[in-house]
């Protein structure tokens, strides 16, 4: 059964994560994705190299694609893109604003060759505004968007301790880009019209804070404005980042402290456990499993006011009680008890061990691939499944310059033309001619 | 200019984040989304309530929808929902596996009523496997998927400290679901065929760890296998969670040198972030900060060699003491001028007024009928020919039940009967 995007052709000029991951998901859905690189290759090839220009990071963010090397600084290289584009449906780019224009591969230039082209441009800050031209990366968007300060982690030097388990802004930008491409394909199918799509890391990081970032005067007057004035006071007297976090966190803890009693981690006798309660029913299930009486925790009662004097001490007292209970037994026993009670809880697994997890295996989340240069590999596969147009990893990542000639032949170039482009340096690696 | 999903009708039976945010994403793309709630309403209505049944979180996660209330625990309520289904293109749910069957809202039942239905289910662990029926929520799946341990944060008590600035598995599952729906609409347009789509918080948590969660033996034998061995030996010796994380953090690894220029540092009036990805970026930062004698980008530097930790610490200290002497504005101006990726660490509470956010119109104002004007994080993407975004706020509980039923062929006396019997409506108005 072919994927939902069977027959759709995608050309990408992207690197690192946000752009390449969008290409991977389009490929998972059955699109034919061709990646264009410079002779130096996607910067990701060099992060944690395992063979020349091959890295685990590059492999996972470029599976299922064919790869070609073009010199886009060269007019002949640009002409190749313009010739290929007439047979493509989608073009992806994640360069800084202004770069596509300089290389002659901006929306206006390419749609001249393909009027119904779907052109996706992902940037750090968006195409306009005072920061549009600034350099960006995932943690820059984390910092700029408030996500990092909102995570409230400080390192031993008093600086922000960033989210390192993933690159959230990159991934969300990749997902929103892919959603937009699919929606644009649907629109083109209904109307015949292509279009330009803009996504950014900043928007991705803001989307992740959707539940907290909004301003709502009727709520903010009570819950947010005191936090803001506390923050302003610390700033006024020249306080440190850690003090600012303290001012913000202290007030936030009052508002959300009771919720976090049952939405957070505890140590057990042999490791750690995580609770994830979002409803009063969940919290009651946990109290039952822990053997807590109704009177042990007044924070879930309708009349508990988190902002009242003494509330913080009440919450701390309940936390101490829960901490003590969890410390008395093993993770496995607690997870079994909480599962039986129906409460959301899990052991804390290590990412390197997930490949062998029975649930991950049952769902078939990981896929086995064979790379042309470095052999077999297992990686996280498509992020969801579809019954009528299934997703599937289409293959491993391309070696640098791995498919240049094949792609050019397929799109009508003669062997003589290719040889000429190679010897002039417009396509391929410098020493390949 | 209508959105790309203009005319598409979505029925959403979902609560908290993963399901509702998928509905919001579809609404932003122009779909007409009807949110179906129980008489108690989505539980996120009561997280930091600001008015009865209204909260900031609910508003943000449910903008652009109409709201109807049906008691699906009754056969009559189920038949009301079944009468609506033929009019809808897409059904979105995040109830636990087994619940949809119990309330007759499962795929096999609904596809009888609308043969080309696109049915999306969002679950914690998936619809099969040993954990399928376990309760899941974002932090639980952060823990299960390895995301939490991979973030390596431990609180004062040695307990794991989750990512709290967002609910990453929830949001990414929601986005994966929206992607699946859009792709399925395209497929239906080409073939006439509907289908069932499954997305999970677990899959989302793993997708977020794509670079780390896989096995590439040729790379892992050097970089990951020693770590796996170390962790299993420590566990056998009875190490605590905090000790495991500390060992994981301090092990020799190639990322340490990278993280000197991909990290946060305190400055006089707050903190800034350096985000260098390439050797050129690092050189730009060295120039802007006058950092000298840094061999970490030299060809002969061995990132996992015996000297590496001391060298990395020395360079890091040089950067740290340099940055401590200036303010955010001073450093950002210099780093921007050098072309290096850097940012002040901003506060979320200030972002609605941030000049870049304002210039990109990322937080438009919408008006809620009960609680007034609010500024929210707007649409996921901007599209040149199909406008995205909404000016409709989240629905008050039960606000559109009568209108939606009437539009889909229910007579006024039928609606009144259903209300009187407590089958539709929130039960507070009769």
Residues 274-313 of A with CB under 8 A from B: 274-279, 282
Residue A65 and residue A22 share a domain: yes
Give the CATH number, domain containing residue A102. Answer: 3.40.50.10540
- In the listed set A225, A252, A279, which residue is the last one of a domain according to the structure? A252
User: Cα–Cα distance between B11 and B14 in angstroms, integer?
Assistant: 10
Burial B10-40 (b: 16+ CB within 10 A, else e): bbbbbbbbbbbbbbbbbbbbbbbbbbbbbbb
Count the residues in chain B.
430
The Cα A381–Cα B271 span in angstroms is 37
- Residue A431 falls inside a structural domain: no
Q: What CA–CA distance (Å, rounded) separates B115 from B323?
A: 63
Contact B135 A377 (CB under 8 A): no
Any B CB within 8 A of A232 CB = no
Asked whether residue A152 is assigned to any structural domain, the reply reads yes
- A411 inside 8 A of chain B by CB: no
Whether B17 contacts B55, CB under 8 Å: no
Task: For residues A170 and A273, state if they share a domain.
Answer: no
Tens digits of residue pLDDT in B170-193: 999 999 999 999 999 999 999 999
For residues B268 and B326, what is the distance between their CA atoms, to the nearest angstrom? 6
Q: Are A235 and A191 part of one and the same domain?
A: no
- DSSP for residue A350: -
Round to the nearest angstrom and report the end-to-end CA distance of chain A: 41
Asked if residue A204 lies in contact with residue B382, where contact means CB atoms within 8 angstroms, the answer is no
Angle (deg, nearest 10), helices A280-290 and A311-327: 50
Question: What residues does B54 pair with on adjacent strands?
Answer: B51
Supply A270's token pair. Answer: 């042999």
H-run or E-run covering B118: strand B118-123
Reported as type and span, the H/E element at residue B26 is helix B18-28
- Reading chain A (433 residues) residue by residue, the pLDDT tens digits are 899 999 999 999 999 999 999 999 999 999 999 999 999 999 999 888 888 999 999 999 999 999 999 999 999 999 999 999 999 999 999 998 899 999 999 999 999 999 999 999 999 999 999 999 998 999 999 999 999 999 989 888 888 988 989 999 999 999 999 999 999 999 999 999 999 999 999 999 999 998 888 888 888 887 788 888 888 899 899 889 999 888 887 666 767 788 889 999 999 999 899 999 988 889 999 999 999 987 899 988 778 888 788 888 999 999 999 999 999 999 999 999 999 999 999 999 988 889 889 999 999 999 999 999 999 999 999 988 999 999 999 999 999 999 999 999 999 999 999 999 999 999 999 874 4
d(Cα B139, Cα B201) in Å, to the nearest integer? 10
Closest CA to A151 of B270, B148, B164, B351: B164
User: Does B141 sit within 8 Å of A346, measured CB to CB?
Assistant: yes
Choose among B60, B134, B348: nearest Cβ to A339: B134
Q: CA-CA distance, B125 to B91, in Å (whole number)?
A: 20
Mean of the per-residue pLDDT values of chain B = 92
Cβ distance A379 to B352 less than 8 Å, yes or no, reads no
Q: Which residues contact A180 (CB under 8 A, 6 or more apart)?
A: A120, A197, A199, B380, B381, B383
Does A325 fall in a domain? yes
The rounded distance, in Å, linking the Cα atoms of B172 and B364 is 22
Question: Terminus-to-terminus CA distance in chain B, angstroms?
Answer: 41
Lowest mean pLDDT segment, chosen from A206-220, A356-370, B349-363, B397-411: A206-220
pTM of structure: 0.93
Beta bridge partners of B36: B68
pLDDT of residue A131: 93
One-character DSSP codes across B168-194: HHHHHHHHHHHHHHHHHHHHHHHH---
Q: Token pair for residue B231?
A: 């962790």
Domain covering B9-207+354-420 in this structure, CATH number: 3.40.50.10540
Do A139 and A34 lie in one domain? The reply is: yes
- Of A231, A273, A383, which is closest to B347 when you measure between CB atoms? A231
Token code pair at residue A236 = 């006024």
Three-state DSSP state, B416: helix
Residue B277: which of A16, A59, A263 has the nearest Cβ? A16
Three-state secondary structure string covering B334-396:
HHHHHCCCEEECCCHHHHHHCHHHHHCCCCCEEEECCCEEEECCCCCCEECCCCCCCCECCCC
Kind of pairing, strands B54-55 and B49-51?
antiparallel
Looking at residue A317, its pLDDT comes to 93
Tell me the torsion sign for CA atoms A202, A204, A209, A214: positive
Q: Are B382 and A198 in contact (CB under 8 A)?
A: yes
Indicate whether B216 pLDDT > 80: yes
Q: Is residue A4 part of a domain?
A: no
Residues sharing a CB contact under 8 Å with residue A10, sequence separation 6 or more, in sequence order? A23, A26, A27, A31, A32, A33, A34, A88, A89, A90, A91, A92
**E strand or H helix at A85:** helix A75-85
The domain boundary, picked from A324, A348, A372, lies at A348
User: Does the residue A432 lie in any domain?
Assistant: no
Average pLDDT, stretch B2-9? Answer: 95
ipTM of this model? 0.92
More confident residue, B115 or B96: B115
Strands of the sheet with A9-13, listed across from one edge: A65-69, A32-37, A9-13, A90-93, A118-123, A195-200, B382-383
* Cβ-Cβ contacts under 8 Å, A386 against chain B: 180, 183-184, 187, 195-197
One domain for residues A90 and A147: yes
Structural domain count, chain A: 3
- Please determine, for residue B430, whether its predicted confidence score (pLDDT) is greater than 60: no
H helical segments located in B29-84:
56-61, 75-84
Instruction: Say if the Cβ atoms of A43 and B278 lie within 8 Å.
Output: yes
In chain A, the residue whose alpha carbon lies closest to the alpha carbon of B231 is A350
pLDDT of residue B156: 82
Q: How far is CA A287 from the centre of its chain?
A: 35
Same-domain pairing of A77 and A191 = yes
Q: Indicate the pLDDT class of residue B112, thresholds 50, 70 and 90.
A: very high
Instruction: Find the residue in B nearest to A208 (Cα).
Output: B166
Structurally, at CATH architecture level, domain B254-345 sits in 2-Layer Sandwich (3.30)
Alpha helices by DSSP H, B88-151: 99-102, 107-113, 138-144, 147-151
Instruction: Please check whether residues A336 and A396 belong to one and the same domain.
Output: no
Calculate helix-pair angle for A168-191, A18-28, nearest 10 degrees: 50
CATH number, domain with residue A319: 3.30.1540.10
Query: Of A147, A212, A221, which Cα lies nearest the Cα of B56?
Result: A212
Q: For residues B68 and B53, give the distance between their C-alpha atoms in angstroms, rounded to a whole number.
A: 14
| Domain extent for A280 | 262-348
**Looking at residue B174, what is its pLDDT?**
97
Which residues of chain A are within 8 Å of residue B210 when distances are taken between CB atoms?
Answer: 21, 60-61, 171, 379-380
Which of B120, B182, B190 to mutate to probe the A interface, most A CBs <10 Å?
Answer: B182
Which of chain B's residues have a Cβ under 8 Å away from the Cβ of A189? 186, 189-190
Within 10 A of B267 (CB to CB), how many other CB atoms are there?
25
Q: Residue A229: what pLDDT? A: 87
Nearest chain A alpha carbon to B202: A360
Mean pLDDT of B70-97: 96
Question: Which two tokens mark A208?
Answer: 């992740």
Exposure string for B132-141, b = 16+ CB within 10 A, e = fewer: bbbbbbbbbb
User: Would you say residue A433 lies in a domain?
Assistant: no
**Contact across the interface for A272 and B147, Cβ inside 8 Å:** no
**Where are chain B's structural domains?**
9-207+354-420, 217-251, 254-345
| Residues pairing with B254 in the sheet | none
Chain A residues 109-148 with a CB less than 8 Å from chain B: 124-126, 128-132, 134-148
Cβ burial A250-281 (10 Å sphere, 16+ → b, else e): ebbbbbbbbbbbbbbbbbbeebbbbbbbbbee
Domain boundary among A318, A348, A378: A348
What are B131-143's pLDDT values in tens digits?
Answer: 998 988 899 999 9
A168 located within any domain: yes
């Amino acid at each position: 059964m072919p994927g939902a995007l069977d027959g759709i052709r995608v050309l990408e000029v992207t690197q690192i994560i946000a752009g390449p991951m969008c290409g991977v998901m389009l490929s998972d859905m059955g699109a034919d994705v061709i990646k264009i690189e410079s002779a130096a290759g996607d910067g990701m090839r060099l992060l944690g190299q395992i063979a020349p220009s091959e890295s685990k990071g590059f492999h996972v963010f470029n599976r299922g694609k064919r790869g070609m090397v073009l010199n886009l600084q060269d007019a002949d290289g640009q002409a190749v893109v313009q010739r290929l584009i007439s047979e493509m449906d989608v073009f992806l780019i994640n360069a800084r604003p202004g770069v596509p224009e300089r290389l002659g591969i901006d929306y206006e230039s390419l749609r001249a060759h393909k009027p119904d082209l779907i052109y996706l441009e992902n940037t750090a800050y968006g195409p306009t505004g005072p920061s549009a031209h600034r350099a960006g990366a995932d943690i820059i968007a984390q910092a700029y968007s408030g996500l990092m300060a909102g995570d409230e982690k400080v390192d031993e030097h008093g600086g922000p301790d960033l989210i390192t388990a993933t690159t959230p802004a990159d991934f969300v930008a990749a997902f929103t880009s892919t959603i937009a491409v699919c929606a644009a394909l649907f629109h083109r199918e209904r109307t015949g019209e292509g279009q330009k799509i803009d996504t950014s890391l900043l928007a991705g990081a803001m989307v992740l804070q959707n539940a907290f970032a909004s301003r709502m005067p009727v709520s903010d007057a009570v819950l947010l404005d005191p936090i803001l004035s506390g923050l302003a006071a610390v700033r006024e007297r020249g306080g440190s980042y850690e003090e600012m976090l303290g001012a913000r966190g202290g007030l936030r803890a009052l508002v959300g402290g009771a919720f976090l009693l049952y939405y957070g981690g505890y140590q057990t006798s042999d490791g750690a456990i995580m609770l994830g309660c979002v409803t009063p029913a969940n919290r009651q299930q946990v109290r039952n499993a822990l053997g807590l009486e109704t009177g042990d925790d007044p924070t879930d009662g309708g009349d508990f006011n988190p902002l009242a004097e003494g509330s913080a001490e009440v919450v701390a007292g309940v936390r101490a009680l829960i901490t003590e209970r969890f410390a008395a037994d093993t993770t496995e026993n607690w997870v079994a008890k909480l599962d039986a009670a129906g409460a959301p809880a899990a052991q804390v697994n290590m990412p390197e061990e997930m490949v062998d997890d029975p649930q991950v295996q049952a769902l078939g989340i990981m896929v086995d691939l064979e790379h042309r240069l470095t052999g077999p590999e297992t990686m996280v596969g498509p992020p969801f499944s579809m019954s009528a147009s299934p997703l599937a990893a289409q293959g491993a990542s391309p070696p640098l310059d791995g498919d240049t000639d094949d792609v050019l032949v397929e799109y009508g170039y003669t062997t003589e033309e290719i040889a000429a482009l190679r010897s002039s340096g417009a396509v391929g690696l410098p020493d390949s001619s | 200019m209508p959105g790309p999903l203009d005319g598409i009708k979505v029925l959403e039976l979902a609560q908290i984040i993963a399901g509702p945010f998928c509905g919001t994403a579809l609404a932003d793309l122009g779909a007409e989304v009807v949110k179906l709630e129980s008489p108690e309403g989505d539980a996120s209505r009561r997280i930091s309530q600001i008015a009865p049944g209204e909260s900031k979180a609910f508003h943000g996660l449910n903008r652009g929808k109409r709201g109807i209330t049906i008691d699906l625990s009754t056969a009559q309520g189920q038949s009301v929902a079944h009468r609506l289904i033929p009019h809808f293109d897409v059904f979105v749910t995040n109830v636990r596996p087994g619940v949809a069957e119990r309330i007759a809202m499962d795929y096999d039942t609904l596809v009888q009523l609308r043969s080309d239905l696109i049915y999306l289910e969002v679950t914690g662990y998936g619809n099969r496997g040993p954990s399928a029926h376990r309760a899941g929520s974002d932090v639980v799946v952060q823990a299960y998927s390895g995301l939490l341990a991979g973030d390596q944060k431990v609180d004062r008590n040695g307990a794991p400290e989750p990512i709290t600035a967002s609910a990453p598995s929830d949001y990414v599952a929601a986005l994966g679901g929206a992607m699946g729906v859009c792709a399925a609409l395209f497929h239906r347009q080409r073939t006439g065929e509907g289908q069932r789509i499954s997305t999970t918080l677990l899959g989302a948590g793993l997708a977020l760890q794509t670079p780390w969660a896989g096995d590439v033996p040729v790379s892992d034998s050097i970089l990951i296998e020693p770590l796996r061995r170390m962790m299993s030996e420590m566990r056998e010796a009875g190490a605590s969670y905090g000790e495991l994380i500390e060992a994981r953090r301090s092990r020799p690894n190639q990322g340490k040198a990278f993280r000197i220029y991909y990290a946060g540092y305190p400055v006089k009036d707050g903190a800034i972030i350096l985000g260098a990805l390439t050797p050129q970026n690092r050189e730009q930062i060295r120039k802007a900060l006058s950092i000298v004698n840094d061999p970490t980008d030299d060809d002969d530097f061995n990132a996992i060699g015996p000297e590496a930790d001391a060298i990395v610490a020395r360079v890091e200290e040089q950067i740290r003491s340099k940055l401590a002497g200036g303010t955010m504005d001073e450093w950002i101006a210099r780093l921007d001028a050098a072309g290096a990726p850097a940012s002040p660490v901003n506060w979320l509470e200030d972002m609605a007024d941030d000049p870049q956010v304002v210039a990109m119109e990322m937080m438009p104002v919408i008006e809620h009928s009960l609680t007034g004007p609010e500024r929210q994080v707007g649409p996921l993407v901007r599209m040149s020919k199909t406008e995205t975004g909404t000016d409709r706020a989240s629905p008050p509980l039960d606000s559109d039940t009568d209108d939606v039923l009437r539009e889909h062929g229910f007579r006024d006396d039928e609606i009144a009967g259903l209300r009187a019997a407590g089958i539709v409506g929130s039960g507070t108005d009769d």
